[in-house]
A and B are shown apart, each in its own frame.
Chain A
Amino acid sequence: MMGHINNLLIQMVEKHHGSEGVSRLFILARIPKKHYQLEIIYPEEEFQALYAATKEIYGVEDEAAQKAFADYFMEASPVMFPAIFSVAGNARSLFEKIPTIHKQWPAAASAKQFQEKLLILESDEKRLVFKYDSPNHLCGVLRFVAKGVLDHYHEKGTVTETQCALKGAPWCEVEVRFAAS
């Protein structure tokens, strides 16, 4: 997982539980306290341990944890990446930029380890379909973030997970349907 996402998770815990919460997070995750370099790819297990520890700190189930993380992601991202959000101008353009964003993000040092987990299977005026295939099973975060992006641009639409790896499918698929404006 990209260090940026690990950092976002830590920042969310810090926002709600302070620096003590962050210390507890690392203790629960059994990882020495550290700062992640945002453009470097770290082992997935490390993210999974941090994520499990986050759920424990918040005392919530997986769905609520994914919703909280997606909300924080959508709170932080437009501030961190104003050009991307501003130039995209609408939800579909932003979604379509995702593969390029992911491809450009890792540093030269980590580029070889990069594996795309999110692909766009279809995109037309009415709908866009994501394929999500990751051992982290954060399809909930993808759903909530997609909804957050629609809200960010004040667009109407629906987000549905049409198949889920946790329910036996080979991968997850999330469909975004855009309402006619």
Chain B
Amino acid sequence: MTKRKRSVPRIGPESMRRARKRPVINDFPEPIWNEWEDPPSFGEALDLQMRRHCDGAHRLCTAIAAAGDTFNWATIRSWRRGQKEPQSVASLEILGRIETRYRLPLGYFRSKLGHSARATTGLSLPGVRASERRRLIWHLPDDYDRRSQSEQREILDWVRRVIISGSTEYRRFQALAIRDRYAIRFKRADSIDSSIDDEDDDLILEEPELAHRLDAPASLQSEMDDLLNFKTATLTTIGYQRSGVWGAETASQKLEHLGLLFGALAAAPAGRVRGLGTSIDNLGFGLLVFPAVWDWYVQWRERRRGFYTRWEVDMLRLGCCQVKREYLSSIDSRTDPDAEIAWDFGRQWAAAWKKSLLTWLTRQRHSKVSNAAVAKGRRRSS
């Protein structure tokens, strides 16, 4: 016997019972107002233009998406909120599409990016080593990937000949930096190497700060190996905890960064590097639990460059990882007197510094943006 379906009384008019129709997405929506005060930062400008054109992140993403795009609407949301800024070639391409959709001048959003001094990422350079790539990429046009192979070859040849090997200011900077090499070289069994082969002069030119002839002492090398094994293993040894896993690229980068850190600690104070002068035999990761070491290093970095960068924040983050509350039980004051004091201070200081540096970097970015806006305004008025 089949059960008869009970008829449910329908409530409301027919139009209410239909699925909500999404409004049609126009390629070039009309703005709802035409006069606006131009915001200085990228996030604010994008937010304003999206509101002007009644677009949400989803809607805008759908409107500008092209076949094969892997672009996500959440990225637009993070740009709009000022959490991230486009940096890759693909993202800059998306920016161009948004400018076209809103009928804004080409490069409108790009001019508002806070990190205009940063190299574009995402360019493909097959056959070029990672270290050389980092140097070349500063000098390549954003549309490098879209150019013909012959044009790409011509550009690469020119950059190598004129900028990298020529007598430009950049080249002079490289030559000076080569004289002041200070990084310590870590070796790794699986071919990740923090430094480069001294016999390869071209490579020394590429990474001058890393091209030190000083190999890490055995004890430091062994600690580094332990750390790398710990951070790159799929699973940790039972009883150990870690915050985050390093992939091959991160591991290679950390080798370099820690090589620079230990190199700076070991460099002679009277030399051009003006290091801390720690004996190379005394170098060890245990030093990194002492706030005074970080204090010196962060200030040394600032003195050397003239300003702080996100690099310092990342290094402090690495320092913070070593003094996590969960690792408290690993302190042994019998073998390391006053280690608990250094450990606690390290936690407090690194956290505070990280916060201060981030605030400082944000301010610096905003001031750069507003300075650029003021300069632009002046240019227009003149």
Contacts and interface: CB of A to CB of B under 8 A. Distances in A.
Given A38-B352, A108-B292, A108-B299, A83 B338 contact: no
12 contacts: A37-B356, A38-B352, A39-B349, A83-B328, A84-B341, A86-B340, A88-B340, A97-B341, A100-B341, A101-B341, A107-B349, A108-B295
B325 interface: yes
Contact of B340 (A84, A105, A108): A84
Contact of B292 (A86, A88, A104): A104
Interface of A: 4, 37-39, 80-84, 86-88, 97, 100-101, 104-105, 107-109
B279 interface: no
By DSSP majority rule, is chain B's interface helix, strand, loop, or mixed? helix
Contacts of B345: 39, 104-105
Nearest to B323: A83
Contacts of B342: 104
B78 to A, nearest CB: 27
Interface string B291-325: 11001100100000000000000000000000001
B341 to A, nearest CB: 6
Contacts of A84: 340-341, 344
B236 interface: no
Interface in B102-159: none
A82 B325 CA distance: 8
Contacts of A100: 338, 341
A99 to B, nearest CB: 11
Contacts of A107: 291-292, 295, 349
B343 interface: yes
Interface of B: 291-292, 295-296, 299, 325, 328, 331, 333, 338-345, 348-349, 352, 356
Contacts of B349: 38-39, 107
Nearest to A38: B352
Contacts of B338: 97, 100, 104
B336 to A, nearest CB: 10
Contacts of A104: 291-292, 338, 341-342, 345
Contacts of B356: 37
A114 to B, nearest CB: 13
B295 A83 contact: no
A83 B299 contact: no
Nearest 5 CB-CB pairs, A to B? A83-B340, A87-B340, A81-B344, A83-B343, A83-B344
B295 A87 contact: no
A83 to B, nearest CB: 4
Contacts of A86: 328, 340
B348 A82 contact: no
A101 to B, nearest CB: 6
Given A87-B331, A107-B295, 15 more contacts: A37-B352, A38-B352, A39-B291, A39-B295, A81-B348, A83-B328, A83-B331, A83-B339, A83-B341, A84-B341, A84-B344, A86-B328, A101-B341, A104-B338, A108-B296
Given A82-B325, A86-B340, A38 B348 contact: yes
Contacts of A105: 345
